[in-house]
């Protein structure tokens, strides 16, 4: 941890903090009092409005109920009221000071010895007894391509001679995705149907269910305060426009995509489903896990609008990412999911601040609740690949699962579970929960 980072470390990060919600003090779980991610939930099976909540251990603090109990004051009260409604959008729009005030208040209210414990115990709901929704209506969804290892591995399948295109090292490549088909963990979707490439050049495409369905292990970034159309977000101001991060599975039908994507990019190969984890982890909670962002001296150096001393000092975040699979056979046999791969966001060639600075260099406006994807986070090692396309090297080398099954691509009934967490000596481990999604048979 360097000087600048320690400026941003405050009492909410104190590793000695413990919560009166005892499950939050267990080791190796995702939601200690140092995390306090926000989401939108309601008690399971009750057709009432969703409302904001903070995950703490195996519980959720109902922010509407907490507001009604009068436990907040000042800016934290304003922020809690914004989060107590049926969307986190208004809190996102209020900017980082509001979110920080709420975090600080929650940290005080939930820590051991807090006078408000008796008042707040009835505002807790077990996480096992809730339903979750998207934190906000997502306006625009942009997906980036920030892992050079992923870009190179995928590029090699299409262009063995020059896997990485000339623009890659100069700009964070991004494109617009579909917001209507984004859902939280638990999403199930039918295998998409579409045009699959002709067997030989000049031939006729076939129409049918995708035979090369894949997952992509990504992070999602919720925009907080937006920018006005025509105004740029400078690289050093970028963090102030980020509300927080989640896990994101950018399901991809490789065969549909390969046939359709020239010259205007992915479309039906991607827009049938995208699954995110429901709990948004704030940048503030991630501060202890920031690390240097390095561009090798013999590599292309970022252009000025994508560069800054402070971003180089702490622009990377060491978020451990994992993809797990539970096949139908494993589920039937009562076997636990098995891990396909793990990587870290610290390997990303482009960081969060660069994504925002680039996105707005032309004046494009970001709005509260907009979502950015980081692109598949593959690490430098082959085993750190964030998709089956890479793990199976284009479907040529099947991946073996512990129960004897093999996977080139996803089969019907497969459930993919993305997980993420941060840990470091001297800090309390925080996690992202899960983004879980299942492939159903095609609806022919």
CB-based contact 414:328 (threshold 8 Å)? yes
Spatial distance between the Cα atoms of 425 and 165, rounded to a whole number of angstroms: 38
Residue 195 touching a second copy (CB under 8 A): yes
- Kindly compute the dihedral angle of the four CA atoms of residues 307, 311, 313, 319, in this order, to the nearest 10 degrees: -130
User: Is there binding between residue 128 and a second copy (CB under 8 A)?
Assistant: no
The correct pick among 9, 58, 131, 261 for binding a second copy (CB under 8 A) is 261
**Smallest distance from a second copy to CB 140, Å:** 5
The residue (of 328 and 361) whose beta carbon lies closer to a second copy is 361
Find the catalytic residue in 13, 149, 150, 347: 150
Q: Do 255 and 395 touch, CB atoms closer than 8 A? A: no
Judged by CB under 8 A, the stretch of 38-46, 85-93, 189-197, 330-338 that binds a second copy is 189-197
Which residues from 222-251 bind a second copy, rule CB under 8 A?
A: 229-232
Among residues 30, 216, 284, 370, the one that binds a second copy under rule CB under 8 A: 370
Instruction: Clarify whether 150 is annotated catalytic.
Output: yes
Determine, following the binding rule CB under 8 A, whether residue 367 of this chain makes contact with a second copy: yes
Task: Report d(CA 301, CA 295) in Å as an integer.
Answer: 7
Rank residues 126 and 198 by Cβ distance to a second copy and give the closer one: 198
Site size toward a second copy (CB under 8 A) is 67
Nearer to a second copy, 31 or 144 (CB): 144
Residue 431 contacts a second copy per CB under 8 A? no
CA angle 308, 309, 315 (to 5 degrees): 75
- Under rule CB under 8 A, residue 262 binds a second copy: yes
Q: Which of 20, 31, 41, 259 binds a second copy (CB under 8 A)?
A: 259
Which one, of 389, 414, 397, 249, lies nearest residue 325 by Cα? 414
Please pick, from the candidates 45, 304, 334, 404, the single residue that binds a second copy as defined by CB under 8 A. 304
> Cα 357 to the chain's mean position, in Å?
19
Among 358, 408, 421, 438, binds a second copy (CB under 8 A): 358
Cα separation, 436 vs 335, whole angstroms: 17
Contact between 200 and a second copy (CB under 8 A)? Answer: no
243: burial class by Cβ within 10 Å (0-12, 13-18, 19+)? buried
Q: Does 264 participate in binding a second copy (rule CB under 8 A)?
A: yes
Q: How many CB atoms lie within 10 A of CB 329?
A: 15
Q: Which residues bind a second copy (CB under 8 A)?
A: 139-140, 142-143, 145, 155, 158, 165-167, 170-171, 173-181, 183, 189-190, 192-195, 198, 201-202, 204-205, 207, 229-232, 253, 256, 259-268, 271-273, 303-305, 358-359, 361-367, 370, 443
Active site residues: 150
């Amino acid at each position: 941890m360097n000087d600048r980072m320690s400026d941003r470390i405050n009492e909410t990060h104190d590793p000695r903090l413990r919560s009166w919600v005892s499950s939050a003090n267990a080791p190796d779980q995702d939601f200690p009092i140092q995390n306090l991610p926000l989401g939108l939930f309601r008690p399971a099976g009750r057709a009432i409005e969703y409302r904001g909540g903070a995950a703490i251990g195996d519980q959720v603090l109902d922010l509407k109920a907490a507001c009604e109990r009068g436990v907040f004051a000042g800016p934290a009260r304003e922020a809690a009221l914004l989060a107590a409604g049926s969307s986190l959008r208004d809190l996102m729009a209020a900017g980082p000071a509001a979110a920080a005030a709420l975090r600080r208040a929650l940290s005080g209210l939930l820590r051991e010895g807090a006078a408000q414990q008796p008042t707040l115990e009835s505002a807790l709901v077990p996480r096992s007894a809730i339903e979750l929704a998207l934190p906000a209506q997502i306006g625009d969804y942009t997906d980036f391509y920030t892992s050079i290892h992923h870009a190179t591995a995928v590029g090699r399948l299409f262009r063995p001679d020059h896997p990485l295109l000339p623009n890659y090292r100069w700009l964070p490549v991004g494109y617009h995705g579909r917001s209507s088909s984004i859902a939280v963990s638990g999403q199930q979707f039918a295998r998409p149907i579409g045009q699959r490439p002709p067997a030989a050049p000049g031939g006729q495409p076939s129409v049918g269910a995708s035979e090369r369905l894949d997952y992509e292990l990504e992070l999602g970034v919720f925009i907080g305060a937006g920018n006005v159309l025509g105004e740029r977000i400078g690289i050093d101001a970028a963090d102030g426009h980020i509300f927080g991060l989640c896990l994101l599975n950018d399901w991809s039908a490789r065969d549909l995509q390969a046939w359709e994507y020239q010259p205007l990019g992915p479309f039906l190969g991607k827009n049938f489903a995208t699954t995110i984890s429901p709990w948004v982890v704030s940048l503030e909670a991630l501060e202890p896990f920031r690390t240097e962002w390095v561009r090798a001296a013999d590599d292309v150096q970022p252009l000025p609008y994508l560069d800054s001393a402070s971003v180089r000092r702490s622009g990377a975040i060491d978020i451990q990412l994992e993809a797990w699979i539970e096949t139908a056979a494993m589920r039937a046999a009562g076997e636990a999911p098995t891990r396909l791969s793990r990587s870290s966001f610290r390997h990303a060639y482009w960081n969060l601040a660069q994504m925002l600075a680039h996105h707005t260099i032309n004046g494009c406006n970001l709005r509260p609740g907009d979502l950015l994807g980081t692109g598949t986070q593959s690490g430098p090692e082959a085993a750190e690949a964030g998709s089956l396309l890479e793990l199976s090297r284009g479907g040529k080398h099947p991946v073996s699962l512990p129960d004897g099954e093999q996977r080139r691509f996803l089969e019907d009934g497969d459930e993919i579970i993305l997980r993420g967490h941060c840990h470091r000596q001297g800090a309390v481990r925080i996690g992202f929960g899960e983004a879980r999604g299942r492939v159903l048979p095609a609806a022919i």
